[in-house]
Amino acid sequence: MKSTKDFWELKNQSKKIVMVTAYDYPSAKQVEQAQADVILVGDSLGNVVLGYDSTIYVTMEDMLHHAKAVRRGAPNTFIVVDMPFMSYHLSVRDTLLNGARLIQETGADAVKVEGADEVLPHIKALVKAGIPVVSHLGLTPQSVAVLGGFKVQGKDAESAKKILEDVKRCQEAGAFAIVLECIPQQLAQEISTSLSIPTIGIGAGVHTDGQVLVYHDILTYGVNRVPKFVKSYANSDELMTKGLRTYVSEVRNKLFPGDQHSYTLKEEELKTLYG
């Protein structure tokens, strides 16, 4: 099990931090077996597991439910849980109560929050209360309605400067790592060299201190359209649909179950039974 300090050490040794999302027991088990450094219970579960078209529908109860299953599947991996939409925007008291629930009730190690500005006091309060925080900047899916769609962020000098300032403020507020989503690789490089805390990129090029991808995207598992920054490493849909089709066909053709899948009474017992 790693700690926040280990991630700083990886950065200082120029070793990449590997983060993968997981949402349930089997995916968490696989990611732990693959020896990723961190598991993110992302609110992307709203899209890839629950079938919503946005992460804003994901609730505290959803996050708690899934994070508990992930901890059971990955007892020895550092787990970060996303704080869902509107769970860290009201009072600092609400934020602390929600953050505490996500840690205490699930056994996760840290929480992740999107944005800077008005979120900064919430980051400070969480860290002060003993809850490690990961920041998430660049494309922040919980505010995609305001951003005007899933677009690359920081493409002009002015918005790049704003992101550069924001990441520094998040570091000052006490975040121990920062996820950078969908920003130009030169900006991600500049951020990664100017911050002392590690950056974990998704659609941010190769120069970040680590990378994160969504489990379902890596494995092509039930996803429809994927962004440019995704690389598929396996085709689960093909493999799994083929397996399911074969099962359906074997049942219809009376090929399953075979003798080896069935329980059999001994001859003598049969005789006693039917005379």
Residues serving a catalytic function are 181
Q: One symbol per residue from 215 to 254: x for binding ligand KIV (CB under 6 A), - otherwise; what is it?
A: ----------------------------------------
Handedness of CA 136, 80, 30, 34 (dihedral sign): positive
Which of 32, 37, 82, 166 is in the footprint of Na ion by CB under 5 A?
Answer: 82
Closer Cβ to Na ion, 42 or 198, answer by number: 42
Site residues for ligand KIV, 130-149, by CB under 6 A, read: 136
Count of residues interacting with Na ion (CB under 5 A): 3
Cα dihedral 61→66→68→73 (10° resolution): 180
Which residues, at least 6 apart from 214, have a Cβ–Cβ distance to it below 8 Å? 21, 42, 44, 48, 223, 230
Please choose, out of 37-45, 165-173, 240-248, 258-266, the segment that lies near ligand KIV by the rule CB under 6 A: 37-45
Q: How far is the CB of 21 from ligand KIV (least distance, A)?
A: 5
Count of residues interacting with ligand KIV (CB under 6 A): 12
Consecutive H or E run containing 252? helix 236-252
Consecutive H or E run containing 94? helix 92-104
**Of 177, 174, 169, 172, whose CA–CA distance to 78 is shortest?**
177
Which of 69, 102, 170, 214 is in the footprint of ligand KIV by CB under 6 A?
Answer: 214
∠ CA 7-13-17, rounded to 5°: 40
Interface residues with Na ion (CB under 5 A) are: 42-43, 82
